[in-house]
Amino acid sequence: MTNTETHLAIITGGGTGLGLATGLELRRRGWHVVALGLDKEPEIENSGIEYTRMDVTDEPAIEKLASQTGRLDLLVNAAGVILHAGREHTAEGFRKVIDVNLHGTQLACMHFRQALAEAGGSIINFASMWSYFGSGRNPGYSASKGAIVSLTRSLAVAYAPQGIRVNAIAPGWVETRMAADAFSDPERAAPIKSRIPAGRWGRPAEVAAAAAFLASADASYINGVTLPVDGGYSIA
């Protein structure tokens, strides 16, 4: 792994969606970015982001990469899955979502802790508006994201003595591939949009900008928070 820039960020789920958007924003600000995941979108090509195919639930692989990382300024846990058509109401589907969204986040935090301590770095976890709302369609996703808020608070306390800040972002309805089913269904899209005080869907770049702020020195006294980036959806 090369590190020619001043700051190094590792982003799980960094090849797609909000993880990719965050990586592109950090690259724009001069960071060296390594994206981990099982999928990638065309925008990653020629972006300068270093992509490594990796399953975030593969603990030996995560542990090996962490052992090769001398110092790390930022870990972004954006890897996540959501299952539709009732699959999260099955034991197998529920377990899979929890394994990726929650357990994958915990594994990365645990194994990269020492590298983050070496740099006095920070962690940004991805929660969701569904950290706070129940979801009849996706109980596994909602449960996993609720747990991310609690995990973020717990690790913020645990890692603070090593100079590591741990925060989270809770995106609302943002134009990503994961939310495409809702946007493409008029019966769902209309009431969702009418509830958003901002009057529109969010853009991935807006979530990425929030992540870049939490990673910056401007947020040096912010620790253990979950920042909603939802156009006001959660308060409407």
Q: How confident is the model at residue 28 (pLDDT cuts 50, 70, 90)?
A: very high
Catalogue the E-assigned strands of the chain. Answer: 8-12, 32-37, 50-53, 74-77, 122-126, 165-171, 226-229
Token reading at 189: 């899209």
CA distance 125 to 155: 11
Mean pLDDT of 153-167: 98
Contact 129, 146 (CB under 8 A): no
Tell me if residue 141 is catalytic. yes
CA distance 188 to 166: 34
pLDDT of residue 180: 74
Contact 117, 160 (CB under 8 A): no
In tens, the pLDDT along 114-136 reads: 999 999 999 999 999 999 999 99
* Lowest pLDDT segment from 34-43, 48-57, 122-131, 174-183: 174-183
For helices 17-28 and 204-215, angle between their N-to-C axes, nearest 10 degrees: 60
Q: How confident is the model at residue 5 (pLDDT cuts 50, 70, 90)?
A: low
Domain-wise residue ranges, the chain: 8-175+204-226
CA distance 34 to 52: 7
Which amino acid is it at 85? A
pLDDT of residue 3: 44
Annotated catalytic residue: which of 51, 141, 159, 233? 141
CA distance 126 to 123: 10
Token reading at 155: 């690790």
Contact 209, 179 (CB under 8 A): no
CA distance 65 to 143: 28
In tens, the pLDDT along 62-103 reads: 999 999 999 999 999 999 999 999 999 999 999 999 999 999
| Pairwise pLDDT comparison (5 vs 60), residue with the higher score | 60
Mean pLDDT of 6-32: 97
- Full DSSP string of 132-165: TS--SS-HHHHHHHHHHHHHHHHHHHHHGGGT-E
Tell whether the model's pLDDT for residue 37 goes beyond 80.
yes
Spell out the long-range contacts of 80-83 with Cβ–Cβ below 8 A and sequence spacing 24 or more. 80/13, 80/126, 80/141, 80/144, 80/178, 81/141, 82/138, 82/141, 82/178, 83/138, 83/140, 83/141
pLDDT of residue 4: 43
Mean pLDDT of 32-40: 98
SS (H, E, C) 1-19: CCCCCCCEEEEECCCCHHH
Domain 8-175+204-226 has CATH 3.30.1330.10: no
Tell whether the model's pLDDT for residue 152 goes beyond 80.
yes
Q: How confident is the model at residue 1 (pLDDT cuts 50, 70, 90)?
A: very low
In tens, the pLDDT along 170-209 reads: 999 999 887 777 777 788 888 989 999 999 999 999 999 9
Tell whether the model's pLDDT for residue 229 goes beyond 50.
yes
